[in-house]
Structure 1
Amino acid sequence: MLTEQGIRRYIKSDIDIIFLEESPSTNLEAKKIAGTTREGAVIFARRQFSGRGRIGRSFESPEGGIYMTMLVRPTDPVCLTMAAAVAVRRAMVDKLNLDPAIKWVNDIYWEGKKVCGILAEGALCKNELRYAAVGVGLNYQSPVFTGGLSAKAGSLYPDSQPPVSIDEIAAAMADQLYKALTNPSDPSIYREYREGSMLTGKRIVLMREGEPEATAIDVTPEGHLVVRFDDGRTEELYSGEVSVRAAEYPHTV
């Protein structure tokens, strides 16, 4: 069970920690305090009852997962989601000895199923980003998903003992997020994102009419997915523009 005491024991960064037993959404909680707290402040919740993903999708947030949001004031906000994905992957490699895949643009996959989602939201003032709330939800020891979700969503350790406690991996994620989100233009982030991409070289299905399939060939430094259509045309896809389904992984959304 995620605990504030345990997180504080393991965390190394000098950041403010807010711990909630339950919350509708840690992103919503973060927005409430955005103007009164230091950069890097992180909110953890043991459970969420209105968790949200991209395009307004809801997701299950039972106890056993890690639900957190970090507040940052980036000077270069373009690659925040990319930086967050790399940060989570780094924590999983370092603490769990896993090699998860990144699905463009904001999901982490393990053994063919989504185990982590990322949602970055911001507030503008006179066309300048005042702050960004970067939310992360990791299914660590969450129960096995049922129904339609069972083919798409997974949990790292639903019925087995993990190599480190949930508090230790949560603290490691916060440390890595703080490092990456406060310097998202670090060249290593782009390099590691490309290395971890699960779509590069794969046939994908674009969720729009007229051009159902293409081949993903790269990701740009700005986080755009570069695809090549069968007629030789290439196009950069922007975050939020389309949903992408890996044709070779029909359960991937």
Structure 2
Amino acid sequence: MGKRIREQMVRLLLEQKEGYVSGEEISQRLDCSRTAIWKHINELRNEGYQIEAKPKTGYRLVYRPDRVAPEELIPHLDTKYIGRKVRYQRSVASTQPLAHEWAKEGAVEGSLFLAEEQVAGRGRMGRMWHSPTHSGIWMSLILRPQIPLNQAPQLTLLTSVAITRALRKQTGLNIRIKWPNDLLIDGKKICGILTELRGEQDQVHYVVQGIGINVNATESVWPEELKLIATSLAIEAGKTFSRPELIGAICGELEALYEGYLNHGFAPIRILWEQYATIIGQEITVRTGLHSVKGIAKGLAENGALLLETNTGVQTIYSSDIEV
């Protein structure tokens, strides 16, 4: 209950822009006592919010800390279910195992686990993902699609399209997709997607999609080995961005594409993915284990696999690393 009241209180304060909202209005709209209001105001102050209290006038929000907590996200959501249930922690090892635990407890579809920092974030094939505090979007989304297990990889492609569309609209940057799970700007990585699932007997029980986006990071926070291969939205745009606003936009695109996918299948997603892909028509090297093969990337198969035209014919690639 207390968390809900704080979320609504932040929303009320944000609605007032530069003005004040009276204690009486807060009390009526949130159905709580003046004593409770004062308690929650103090809790928000302890979280870093600067709230001015003026006798006979009310409260005014002077400063908001840079957080992706639910009270900051909810005003930017325009969805029915994606992002409507949120768990938030300031610092975690990784959001992925915590989202798995929540899914096993029965978390509803669209539930979102958010953190300010990951100290042991990971990507595909167990690779480490650098997640400095308050600089990016580190989150895991729980989905429960009624699809066969072999279609689950399509969700990675769907998510990459949704994030690309959202970030392009919000930032104006030329973001492109690298198969199977990275988003790039001029060849440098800004986002990775990790799709994990649980299922049996050819049926998905739930999917956890880990999403890591470099938003406001500067090169100074990265180890040397990342500076040549990674970038952030802020570095590329020359300005910082509201992380809750970006998350809200991503949730909106995800929900629209996800519902379209459930109703109409993968074909529309495939068309969109190929529009944003970096490799279509280019010669690439595909590496799987100790083996590698060169060819021209032709696009996606109907099931989402990569089609590679080689000297011996067209090969279907399901999971690998690629080099352009």
TM-score by length of 2: 0.70
Conservation of the 8 A alpha-carbon contact between 2:266 and 2:302:
no
Shift of 1:205: 1.3
Shift of 1:114: 0.7
Deviation sequence 1:157-213 (CA, Å, 0-9, x none) = 149323x41210122112222333344335432211010110111111122556542
The CA distance in 1 between the partners of 2:203 and 2:120, in whole Å, is: 28
Match of 2:28 in 1: none
Which of residues 139, 142, 148 in structure 2 aligns to 1:71?
Answer: 142
Match of 1:221 in 2: 302
Match of 2:172 in 1: 97
Match of 1:116 in 2: 191
The CA distance in 1 between the partners of 2:258 and 2:113, in whole Å, is: 15
Deviates more, 1:144-153 or 1:21-30: 144-153
Deviates more, 1:168-177 or 1:193-202: 168-177
Shift of 1:60: 0.2
2:127 alignment partner AA = R
Match of 1:48 in 2: 118
Deviation sequence 1:15-67 (CA, Å, 0-9, x none) = 21222111111111111110322110111111111111111111101120101
Deviates more, 1:207-216 or 1:144-153: 207-216
The CA distance in 1 between the partners of 2:186 and 2:122, in whole Å, is: 23
Match of 1:197 in 2: 277
CA RMSD between the two structures: 1.9
2:298 alignment partner AA = I
Conservation of the 8 A alpha-carbon contact between 2:136 and 2:216:
yes
Equivalent runs, 1:1-253 vs 2, <5 Å: 1-4=66-69, 5-14=71-80, 15-34=84-103, 35-63=105-133, 64-76=135-147, 77-78=151-152, 79-144=154-219, 145-158=222-235, 160-162=238-240, 164-184=241-261, 185=265, 187-208=267-288, 211-229=292-310, 231-239=311-319, 242-246=320-324
The CA distance in 2 between the partners of 1:39 and 1:225, in whole Å, is: 28
Shift of 1:119: 0.5
Q: Closer, same or farther in 2 for the Cα pair 1:244/1:37, shift >3 Å?
A: same
Conservation of the 8 A alpha-carbon contact between 2:266 and 2:303:
no
Conservation of the 8 A alpha-carbon contact between 2:92 and 2:117:
yes
Identity fraction in percent: 25
Q: Closer, same or farther in 2 for the Cα pair 1:227/1:166, shift >3 Å?
A: same
Q: Closer, same or farther in 2 for the Cα pair 1:211/1:125, shift >3 Å?
A: closer
TM-score by length of 1: 0.88
1:22 alignment partner AA = S
Deviates more, 1:53-62 or 1:203-212: 203-212
Q: Closer, same or farther in 2 for the Cα pair 1:2/1:223, shift >3 Å?
A: farther
User: What is the total number of aligned residue pairs between the two structures?
Assistant: 242
The CA distance in 2 between the partners of 1:155 and 1:9, in whole Å, is: 24
Larger Rg: 2
Higher helix share: 2
Conservation of the 8 A alpha-carbon contact between 1:105 and 1:223:
no
Deviates more, 1:104-113 or 1:6-15: 6-15
- Runs of 4+ deviating beyond 6 Å: none
1:199 alignment partner AA = I
- Secondary structure (helix, strand or coil) at the match of 1:45 reads strand
Unpaired runs of 5+ residues, structure 2, are 1-65
Unpaired runs of 5+ residues, structure 1, are 247-253
